[in-house]
């Protein structure tokens, strides 16, 4: 993999996806699923998959409910599908853990490398969830804007969501680098006109959604080098 700068235009801001990119959604069940009997890894996978499906389907149906509500509906869906017995209090503990998810280990180094251009978040999360996740990880000072889809009451990958980036940051979309570990989110951002970095931590085959990212890294701290000549 080359470390040469490869971006076609100056980058004036970085816009990060939150869940799966900065915050490890699969840290929640292992840390907060105490006392639940069943395949907890499968629960975590199905919970996440249902969470995404509900966002896509509700957005398409034009029946938005916020990400907190969707996340709880997805959890209930997952435990039913997997025939896992959970109590009300156990559901509550898992949901509360969503307010303080763990960041991936490469996040703080990656963010500190960009002290000369603004960093922001554009996420499906509700404002309360995002503020809480950022604050509980001490990342408040790293981001100039935390943008929730709640402003437009729909979900990624709707263009209405991606339009919030240039609108809030007041920077042309082609001069913003959008960073996501979700390949479908990266595709949506690319289709909208961002420069796009996909962070593929797992190294697994990347789904081809028809809109390839500009470049791929395996850890977020690799981004700075890739864009240094353009960003600073």
Q: Which is nearer to its own copies, 159 or 174 (CB)?
A: 159
Least distance from its own copies to the Cβ atom of residue 151, Å:
17
The residues of the shown chain that bind its own copies, judged by CB under 8 A, are 50, 53-54, 56-63, 65, 73, 76-77, 80-81, 83, 155-159, 184, 187-188, 191, 205, 207-211
What is the nearest approach in angstroms of its own copies to the Cβ of residue 137? 29
Distances (CA, A) of 212 to 62, 101, 123, 161: 27, 29, 20, 19
DSSP, collapsed to helix, strand or coil, labels residue 81 as: helix
Q: Rounded distance, CA 210 to CA 188, Å? A: 10
Q: Is-contact 200 216, C-beta < 8 A?
A: yes
Pick the closer one to its own copies by CB: 140 or 167: 167
Which C-beta is closer to its own copies: that of 110 or that of 187?
A: 187
Nearest approach in angstroms of CB 19 to its own copies is: 17
Of the pair 134, 189, the CB lying nearest its own copies is at 189
| Among 17, 106, 150, 214, the one annotated catalytic | 17
Q: Which helix (H) or strand (E) holds 16?
A: strand 13-16
Least distance from its own copies to the Cβ atom of residue 57, Å: 5
196 DSSP assignment: E
Is the distance from CB of 198 to CB of 183 less than 8 angstroms? yes
Contact 108, 30 (CB under 8 A): no
CA–chain centroid gap for 154, Å, is: 15
- Alpha-carbon distance values, 8 to 191, 195, 200, 226 (Å): 16, 9, 21, 12
Q: What angle do CA 164, 56, 177 make, to 5 degrees?
A: 35
Whether 106 is catalytic: no
- CB-nearer residue toward its own copies: 53 or 140: 53
Minimum distance from residue 203 beta carbon to its own copies (Å) = 13
Q: Which residues are catalytic?
A: 17
């Amino acid at each position: 993999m080359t470390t040469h700068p490869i971006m076609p235009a100056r980058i004036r801001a970085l816009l990060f996806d939150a869940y799966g990119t900065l915050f490890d959604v699969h840290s929640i069940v292992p840390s907060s699923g105490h006392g639940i009997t069943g395949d907890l890894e499968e629960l975590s996978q199905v919970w996440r998959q249902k969470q995404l499906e509900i966002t896509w389907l509700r957005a398409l149906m034009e029946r938005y409910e916020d990400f907190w509500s969707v996340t709880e509906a997805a959890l209930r869906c997952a435990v039913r599908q997997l025939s896992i017995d959970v109590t009300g209090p156990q559901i509550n503990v898992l949901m509360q853990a969503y307010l303080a998810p763990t960041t991936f280990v490469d996040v703080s180094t990656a963010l500190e490398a960009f002290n000369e251009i603004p960093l922001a978040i554009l996420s499906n999360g509700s404002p309360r969830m995002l503020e809480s996740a950022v604050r509980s990880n001490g990342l408040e000072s790293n981001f100039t804007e935390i943008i929730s889809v709640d402003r437009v009451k729909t979900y990624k990958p709707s263009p209405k969501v991606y339009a919030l980036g240039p609108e809030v940051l007041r920077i042309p979309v082609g001069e913003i680098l959008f960073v996501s570990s979700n390949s479908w989110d990266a595709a949506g951002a690319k289709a909208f006109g961002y420069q796009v970095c996909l962070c593929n931590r797992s190294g697994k085959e990347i789904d081809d959604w028809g809109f390839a990212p500009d470049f791929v890294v395996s850890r977020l701290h690799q981004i700075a080098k890739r864009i240094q000549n353009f960003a600073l």
